[in-house]
Amino acid sequence: MIRKYKGRVVVPGDVTADALVTHAGFNTLASLKTAGSFLNPKGVIQDMNNPELYKKLMPGKALCLPETIGSTTGGMVLYCASVMGVGPACMLFSKKADTLAVAGAVLTANWSEHPIVLVDDLGEDFLKEVQEGQRIHVKEDGTVLVESEDTFDAAPAAEA
């Protein structure tokens, strides 16, 4: 089965990636502060206040979330993670995206070769229904297609 959602495009792009899901705010600095360095080369999420994501791998994932929270380094941390190859492929917000997430995605769109696609306002149902490991296709126009496991042999997100 494929579920279809339509959101607002902030940074456009066509992306296919596996879902990584948090129902709590994503604290970007706490999650990715050392990602990409020799301390955390794989991009393992470090925020122990977020049990849904703690110790999971970020690179190339479709991060599904309500909002980001915390330090105003957030946008530049996303930018750095993206440039260093350990950022998410896309960020899919159930709500309107916040200033830090938008800043991060906009920075990657203007100053790097690996923009983080950002679609927001996908609605509460999106975050209720999407599950970790499901394959997600994001279209340029903000359409988000989520494949459930009965039609796609999706592997669960890798744990570090």
Partner 1 sequence: MILNEELLAVQRGEQGEAMRKVLNTLVMYGEAFGAERMVKITGRMGHAVIGTGSMTWKPVFDLMEELIEGGALPRQSFTTDPRGVEPHVPMSLMDRAMFKLIFSGQKRMEKEWERMGIKDSNAYTCTSYMEEVGNIPEYGDILGWAESSAVSYANSVIGARCNRNSGILELMSNILGYVPEFGLLTDEGRKADWIIEVRCEKRPEPQLLGSAIGFKCVEDVPFIRGLDKWIGTELTQDAKDYLKDMGAAAASNGSVGLYHVENLTPEAVRHATADGGNALIKEDAKVFVIDDAEIARVKASYPNPWEEREAAGSGKKEKNGGAPELAFAGCPHFSCAQLLDWTERLSEGLKRHGNGKVTVNTIFCAAPDVRAAFEDKYPGQARRLREMGVTVSGLCPLSYTSNPLTDKIRIITASNKLRYYSKARFFSEEELVEIITGGWNETWERGGAAR
Site residues, partner 1 (CB under 8 A): 10, 25, 27, 29-30, 33-37, 39, 48-49, 67-77, 79-80, 83-84, 97-100, 102-104, 106-107, 109-112
> Please, which residues have CB within 8 angstroms of residue 110's CB and are 6 or more apart in sequence?
none
Q: How far is the CB of 50 from partner 1 (least distance, A)?
A: 10
Residue number, 51 or 156, with CB nearest to partner 1: 51
Helical ranges in 12-154 per DSSP H = 28-32, 74-83, 99-111, 124-129
34 alpha carbon, distance to own chain's centre: 17
Residue number, 40 or 148, with CB nearest to partner 1: 40
Q: How far is the CB of 132 from partner 1 (least distance, A)?
A: 21
150 alpha carbon, distance to own chain's centre: 23
